[in-house]
Chain A
Amino acid sequence: MIFIPYLFKKDLLRLKIIFFAWTLLILAQLALGIGGGKLVAEFLEFQMFLPLFTRLIGFLQCLMIIVIIPLIIQDDSLVGTAAFWFTRPISRKGLLFTKSCMILILLVITQLIAEIFVLAAQGATARLLLLAAPEIFIEKLAFVIPFVILAIITPKFSRYALVGIITFVAIVVALIIWSVITMFLRKYFPTFVKHLYNVNMAKSPSLGASGGIAKSIYVILIGSAIIAYQFLTRRTARTIIWLVAAFLIMVCFTRIWSWDFLKEIPVVKSPPAISGSLSVGLDANYISILDEPRFGKKDIRVKSINVKETVEGLPVGQFAILKETKDVQMKYPDGNSLKSDFVSTNNIKTYSNEQFMRPIQAALKDVKLLNPYKEDFSYTKVFSLDELTFHQFKNIKGTYSAHAVFDIYKYEIVSQMPLKPGAKNSFGAEQVVIYDILERANAISVIINEQKINLVFDRSVKKRSLGDFAQDMYSEYNHVYLIVNTKRNEAFLPEAGINLFSGAMELYSPTRLKTMAKKLDFTNLNSKSEPLPKIDEEWLADAELVRLDAVKVGAEQIDFTVDGFSIPSQSTETGKENSEIEKRLKMQYN
Chain B
Amino acid sequence: MKPSIQSLFFILLICISDFLSAQTTIAGKITDKKNPLIGVSITLKDTYDGATSDSSGKYSFKTSEKGEFILTATSVGYRPFEQTIRLEGKGILTIDIVLKEEITELSAVVISAGTFEASDRKRAGVVLTPIDIVTTASANGDVTGALKTLPGAQQVGESEGLFVRGGTAAETKIFIDGTLVNNFFQGGAPNIAGYGRFSPFLFKGTVFSTGGYSALYGQALSSALILESIDLPERTSASFGLSVLGVNGGYQELSKNKKFSWGGAYSYTNLGLAFAVIKQKQDYSKVPVIHNGDFNFRFKTSATGMIKYYGYFAKNSFDFTEKSIDSLGYFDRFGLKNFNTYHNIAWKESLGKKWKMNVGLSYALNQDDIKSGMKDANNNEVILSGLEFKTFNIDADANYYNAKLVLERRLKGISAIRFGGEYNYIDEKSIFTIYNGQQFSARLKENIKSLFAESDIYLTNKLAAKIGGRFEKSSMLDKTNIAPRFSLAYKLSKYAQASLAYGIFYQNPERKYLPSPDNLIFMKATHYVAQYMKLTALRTFRAEIFYKKYEDLVKTGITSGREVAINNDGFGDAKGFEFFWRDKKTIKNVDYWISYSYLDTKRDFLNFPYATKPNFAATHTASVVMKKFVQAWKMQFNGAYNYASGRPYYNIRYDGSKYYFADMGETQDYHNFSISFNYLPKIGKPDAKSFVVYVLQVNNAFNMKQVYGYEYSYNGFRKEQIVPPSRMFVYIGAFFSFGIDRTENAVNDRLF
- Say whether A associates with B: no
Chain A residues proximal to chain B, CB less than 8 Å: none
By a beta-carbon cutoff of 8 Å, the part of chain B in contact with chain A is none
